[in-house]
Structures are given as structure tokens and as C-alpha cells.
Structure 1
Amino acid sequence: MHKKRILVTVLNWGLGHATRSIPIIEELQQHNFEVFIASDGAALELLKKEFPSIKTFELPSYNISYGKTASSFKWKLFTETPGILNAIRLERKKIKDLVTTHHLNGIISDNRFGCRHKNIPSVFITHQLSVLSGNTTYLSSKLHQNYISKFDECWIPDTPGNHNLSGIMGHLKETPANVKYIGPLSRFNKIPQQEKYDYAAILSGPEPQRTMLEEKLLSSFQNSDKKIILVRGIMAENTISSKNRNLKIKNYLTSKALQEVILSSEAIICRSGYSSIMDLAKLEKKAFLIPTPGQYEQEYLARRFKKLGIAPFCKQEDFEISKLKNLEDFPGFSSLDFSVSFGDIFALFKGK
């Protein structure tokens, strides 16, 4: 019998959208779908490494970047809006071509607004029904909800109740009719692991802020006697080293290797991006969070988990290694008791 063909499209903004697509792709394969992948940049490179046998396509880049200061982020995003809208128009044309040439039966889009088609089921994945943007939150949320409404379904990688990860971002007073909660998505599984490191620092997110945090951490770690591993989160060949023998540096790790590093570390130092939060919950880890400057979503999540007594955080500019002592006062993340049938979730693509 002919396998239904599903195209998974992923936003290239840091690596979080790509990593949380991994369990969706694996579930699709297990449910006997033929999967295709489309993205651009580092996200596409990561998915090629994780799924070397899957056919991939390159999509137009949104070219989203940060300023060097927190205050410039919103303005930079505003100035880049025409380019983003043009990329959305171009990817809609590309999707139209791909649906025709490869006889696709469905599309799952992680935050790519133009990746839908009127003739086949199209799904949008996001954890943000509300898009936090300071004094423009109402406007940014309404614009986002308008885009979401054009898809057949919107899947939220969180739980529907009060015991959830995304807080006000993924939960409205009235849930839109096309929204389904599919539970947190993580490529990892918790298995016993011998402790090797005191801290694993895992970097992610767009430039130049990724590099700025890397430089801050390397400076803080240079004289530490703690066993630390730094995963830079870049798909590059050129490596760097440290004079500190207790510090190991890796550019990038595959899912299996990164899972081992996280599980064999006493605590994790990372951004408070939502994909990282889902991974921390799945593996039930202690974490010190450093939100990306100017990114309201990450600042909200960092404050939320500190207020809930789960994890400490500090601003990037304020980080120093002595602040990690605060980890002693927080128990860390725990997994959410929520299960979902992907057979039921994928019924949309089976014409049921």
C-alpha cells in the first residue's frame, strides 16, 4: 500500500525548532508515513545529520538575527519584517511546487508561516498562542493567531492544564477550535548515566548573542576547578580549545551524545528557550538559565521557573561562576505526567 507522504518544515532560528521536530519525524516514520524535510541553514544541516536517509529541500531563509544589545532586538526584528514577509511568499511558492512534484499528502510546519497548502492537511506547531513582545504583545499575538487560523490544526507541544511548561504563552482563556495539545516534545530519553561533569553549558540561538554568551562563559570558566563541558551549538568544523584542563569544548553533538552529556552532568547551564525547557523537563535536570537578552519569551520563562522554585537565572551580562551556587536552593525540573496517542494526532493525514 502507498505510504502517505508528509513534509516537515522547520524554522531556522537557533536549533530548537529543529531539535523538537526530531520526535515528530520519528513518530511519523513509526506510523508508516514517508517523511520529507524542508528548512534552511543550520537547522537543515542538523536534520540532515540526524536523518541522513530522508530527502530534504532548502527553503528561503527568514534571516532573523539579533542586535548586540537587548534594546535593539525589537527594532531589528521590525526592520527585518519586509524580508521575512518576502521569504514567506517565496516559501509558499516552493511548497506549491513540492506538493505537486512529490505528491505530498500533508504538511507539518514548525513556525514557518508560508508552509501550508489549501488542498492537503496543513499543521502549524508553536508553543506561542500569545507572542510576548513588551508593549506590543497584544498586536504580535493577534498577528500570530491570524496566521495560525489559516492552518487546519495547530499543535501545541505542552499540556492543556494548569501544570504546564509554557504558561501564558501556550494557553488562552478560550482555546481556539483548531488547537491540539500534544505534550512536550523532546528527542531525549532518561536512562541511568554515571556522573562525569559538574556542569554542562549548552549554547543555542541566533548570532551574535550565542557568541557573546560563549565568550562570557569561557572567561568565567578559565580558572575553575569544576569539571565542565561546553557544547557550542554550531555546525562548524573549526574547533577551539581552553588552557583549563577541566574544561572540554565541543562544537556540536548528535542527539545521542548530547543526551549522554546532559544525563552525566550534575547541572545544566543554558538558554531559557522553550525547546531547552522541554528537554530539561524530560530528563528531570537541575539548570541555571540565562535568557537571550531582549527576547521576551525567554525572559518570561526564566522568571516563571524561578518563581515556581524550579531553576535560578541571571541576565547574560551579570553571569559569573559564583552565581551557580544558587543551584543548591532549587530542585530542578520534573517531567509532566501526560501521554498522547500520535496515531490519533496523525489521523488528520489519513483522511479520517
Structure 2
Amino acid sequence: MKEQILKTVHERPLTPSLNIRGGEIKHKIYFSINGEGYGHSSRALAIAKQLHPEEVLLGSYGYSLKRLESTGLPTIEITPEVSFVGKDGSFDIGLTILKNSSWPVAINQIINEERKIIQNYGITCVVSDSRTAPIFAASKLGLPCILLTNQTTFAPFFDVEINDLEDSLIEKSFKDWLRTGTKAVLTNAAEPFVLKVVQDWLKAADEIFIPELPPPNSICLPLLCNENFVKKKQRFIGPLLPWSWKSIVQNHDKNFLPPEYHGFKKKIVCTLGGHRYRKPLFDTVLLLAKIMPDVLFIILSDFKSDLNLPNLYKVGFVNNPAEFYLNADLVITQAGHSTAMELITLGLPMLVIPDCGQVEQESNARRLCELGIASRLSYKDLKTDTMYSMVQYMLNEPSFLNHVNNLSKLAKNYMAEKEAVRIIRDYSTRIQAY
């Protein structure tokens, strides 16, 4: 009897038996994507395209949703979390807070919406690009959730509103000052609540992907939280690009442009999108083309003009501007993070004109200049002669190209999409392993 007991104990595993399902593990990754701008959908798609279509569900809204639908991957429409408000090209946090005064109630409804999506589709890992609701929903369900963002602190947004109030004491009428002051008071009152939500959001995420080069070469460095509870979760995975730089470079056709433009030795690409408040920049570039006939200006924008010049190529909006970038010596653009990472990877200097009052773009612009790969021009200083001087200097100063080529070499060492997929699948596997 004693021998039988000992034999039974000996044969029993030292740890509980795991029902490893192996081949039965099925990944279902849900990407909940901020629909403001193209950058969020670009970097989410960079990861999603590395997965099998059956493993993917893409959620967004507006024109970003249409872009996602065009890929043929499974999509679902979701509710925007915040309605952003701007005036004369400037993001206005005060007006945004006023317009979203019912946000505490609305966000709970959106969290429930996200929770139902996660449950109905059998999601095994959630990737949120700059959205709070999917992180809270996944956390409540005990599912792995990864935040994809280039910003983990939002205090600078509130600093701008107070600075506007100080400026208005001198520059604005009493009526405008009163309006600005009222918004500043409301913004100041909302700040603790907003920052508390952000803190809870960051705590709920299992991991934070920063689609960037690591410090000290990070563009978004001033916009990253300095708290250890956030820093320990952050992973600098490198640039997430909507295309393979190797494929783009290897297949690049030097005669990509129409024949009539082949003779130009210097080429400038100007990418503007179609926001109406960027029209002054569009008009200034047209005037610049008039006084620089030896330089080809390639305009990627929805803006229209009757002006026709031999050195002006108006392309319109394009989904993939990489081929145009490769034909450029300089790119005139806003200081959007995703565009900056694309241009750094391709090794192109930039003249950046950040949207007025857009804190993230203005921070990015400063960092790009600090790294020696860009010059910055504000809308207040947007004059043809000023831009002419800056463009001439950048086209003839080799230091910009040298600095950006150094960063380009670093960026090309990363395989951000594959690293992201490896981590996502690992999280997804953990909850299915037994």
C-alpha cells in the first residue's frame, strides 16, 4: 500500500497540468483607432497588415474609417470620443471642453460600446491608438490592452490656454479678453479631471508602444510623461510606416514624375492636406514658385488654383506620398508626428509650419529643429520673402541632410511592425494557453 502511494505521488506532476491548446489558439486583434488625421490610421495599418486578415478587426470613424475599409480588412464603425474645436486654424482646448461638457456621461456609453465589440467578436488583445474607451473596456474584461501613442502627458495643452489669456491682456479687445478669460477659467477647472482620466488610462494599459526612435533622438520626447509608472510601460519600437521603406527605395523609379518635370535639379514637395486654415500656406508656396523658376514645386493638396507654371506640379491629395518624397530635396509640411517619422526614415530635411495653437505640432517642430533636420516657420511670419530665404538656405546647407541621414540610418535598423506583432501575439497567446 505504501509503495503504491509513493508510486502515485512520483507520477503526479509537480505543477498543475496545463491544457495547452497549441494549434487551437486563434488571435483576434482589435485596433480601436482615433479618426482625427491620417497618422493614427497609418501606423495602426502598418501593424494590422502584418497579421492575417482573419486575425484583425479595425475600428474607426469618418474619413479614417473609409481609408481602413479600402484595405479590404474587416472594419467596424465606432463613436468618436471627443469633438475637437478650432478657430482660424488653431486647436482651442477651451471651446473643446465646452462642446464636450457631457463627456463624463458619453464616455461611459462609448466604453460599453467598446466592451460589446470586444465580447461579440471574441477579441483576444486590444490595441488602442490614442483612444481611452477601448483601454478601459479591455481592462474591465481582464483582456490585454496596448496603447499606441506618441503622447503620454497632456499638461502642455492647458498651459497654452493660460498663455492665451496673458497675451489677450494686451492684444485683444475687452470682449475678446472676457471670452478668452471665461474659457481659461473653465479650462483650469477641467484640468484636474482631464489629467486624472489620463492617469487612469495610462495605468490601465498593459503596455505603451511609442512609434519612435528612443531618447535622445525622440521627436515626441517633451510630450512623454516623466512618471515611472508610465515610463516602465513605454516601449520605443521605432517608426511605424504605412509602407516598407526597403520596397519603396528598391522599386523607386527616378522617372516617376511626368517627363516635363525631369529637367529640374532641385525639387520641393509641399504636403498640406485640405484644411481650409492652411490656405495661406498654399498661396505663399504658389508665390514662391513664381520667384524660384529653377525649382520644381510638387503640391500634394486638395486646394485649387488657376495658376499654371512650368515649375508647378499640382498633384492633389494622394494616399501614399512616399514616391513623391523620394523625388524631393526638401519637404514643406506641418509638424505631424507620422509624417515626420516617414521623412526621417527616407532621409529628407523639412521646413515645418505647425498649425497655429496645435501644441503637439509646435512641440514636434521645436524638436525637429533641435535635432538639426528642419527649420521652422510660423503662420505669423508666413511671408514670401521669409520663406524664400529659408528655402534657399536649406537647399544649400548640407548640415540638414547630414543630420537627417544619420537619423535615417537609425530608423532603418528597426522592424517596428514585426516587433509590435510579436508582442501583441504574445499577449494574445497568454490568455489562451490554458
CA distance in 2, matches of 1:212, 1:64: 22
Partner deviation per Cα, 1:139-187 (whole Å, 9 max, x = no partner): 6666433322222222221244323222222362635243332222222
Could you say which residue in structure 2 is the equivalent of 1:101? Answer: 120
Q: Structure 1 residues 285, 254: CA separation in 2 closer, same or farther (over 3 Å shift)?
A: same
Map residues 1-352 of structure 1 onto 2, 5 A cutoff: 1=24, 3-29=26-52, 34-49=55-70, 51=71, 53-61=72-80, 62-68=82-88, 70=90, 73-82=92-101, 88-116=107-135, 117=138, 118-119=140-141, 120-131=143-154, 132-133=156-157, 135=159, 143-170=197-224, 172=226, 174=228, 176=230, 177-188=232-243, 189-190=245-246, 191=249, 193=252, 194=254, 198-204=267-273, 207-221=275-289, 224-225=292-293, 226-232=295-301, 242-255=307-320, 258-319=321-382, 320=384, 321-322=387-388, 323-327=390-394, 328-329=396-397, 330-332=399-401, 333=404, 334-335=407-408, 336-337=410-411, 339=414, 341-346=419-424, 347-351=426-430
Number of residue equivalences: 340
CA distance in 2, matches of 1:143, 1:289: 32
CA distance in 2, matches of 1:285, 1:141: 36
**Alignment-mate amino acid for residue 393 of structure 2:** N
Scaled by the length of structure 1, what TM-score is found?
0.84
Partner deviation per Cα, 1:76-110 (whole Å, 9 max, x = no partner): 32223336556533432221221232222221110
Q: Which stretches in structure 1 are left out of the alignment for 5+ residues?
A: none
CA distance in 1, matches of 2:114, 2:325: 37
**Alignment-mate amino acid for residue 270 of structure 2:** A
Q: CA RMSD in A?
A: 3.0
**Alignment-mate amino acid for residue 183 of structure 1:** G
**Alignment-mate amino acid for residue 271 of structure 1:** Q
CA distance in 2, matches of 1:317, 1:247: 25
- Are the counterparts in 1 of residues 353 and 377 from structure 2 also a CA contact under 8 Å? yes
How far apart are 1:262 and its partner, in Å? 0.8
Q: Structure 1 residues 67, 275: CA separation in 2 closer, same or farther (over 3 Å shift)?
A: same
Runs of 4+ in 1 over 6 A off after TM superposition: none
**Alignment-mate amino acid for residue 348 of structure 1:** Y
Partner deviation per Cα, 1:299-331 (whole Å, 9 max, x = no partner): 122122223322111002423340312313342
Quick check: which one's helix share is greater? 2
Comparing 142-151 and 34-43, the one that deviates more: 142-151
Q: Which stretches in structure 2 are left out of the alignment for 5+ residues?
A: 1-23, 162-190, 258-265
CA distance in 2, matches of 1:11, 1:130: 17
SS in 2 for 1:268: strand
**Alignment-mate amino acid for residue 161 of structure 1:** P
- Are the counterparts in 2 of residues 223 and 244 from structure 1 also a CA contact under 8 Å? no
- Are the counterparts in 1 of residues 269 and 298 from structure 2 also a CA contact under 8 Å? yes
Partner deviation per Cα, 1:191-210 (whole Å, 9 max, x = no partner): 154275711111248x4434
How far apart are 1:68 and its partner, in Å? 0.6
CA distance in 2, matches of 1:152, 1:202: 36
**Which of structures 1 and 2 has the bigger CA Rg?**
2
**Alignment-mate amino acid for residue 169 of structure 1:** L
Q: Structure 1 residues 175, 184: CA separation in 2 closer, same or farther (over 3 Å shift)?
A: farther
Comparing 245-254 and 78-87, the one that deviates more: 78-87
SS in 2 for 1:180: strand
SS in 1 for 2:83: coil
- Are the counterparts in 1 of residues 89 and 278 from structure 2 also a CA contact under 8 Å? no
Partner deviation per Cα, 1:222-255 (whole Å, 9 max, x = no partner): 56522122112x6xxx976642243222332233
Q: Structure 1 residues 241, 163: CA separation in 2 closer, same or farther (over 3 Å shift)?
A: same
How far apart are 1:114 and its partner, in Å? 0.9
How far apart are 1:20 and its partner, in Å? 1.8
CA distance in 1, matches of 2:333, 2:102: 30
**Alignment-mate amino acid for residue 111 of structure 1:** S
CA distance in 1, matches of 2:273, 2:43: 13
How far apart are 1:270 and its partner, in Å? 0.7
CA distance in 2, matches of 1:97, 1:211: 42
How far apart are 1:279 and its partner, in Å? 0.9
The percent identity for this pair of structures is 21
SS in 1 for 2:49: helix
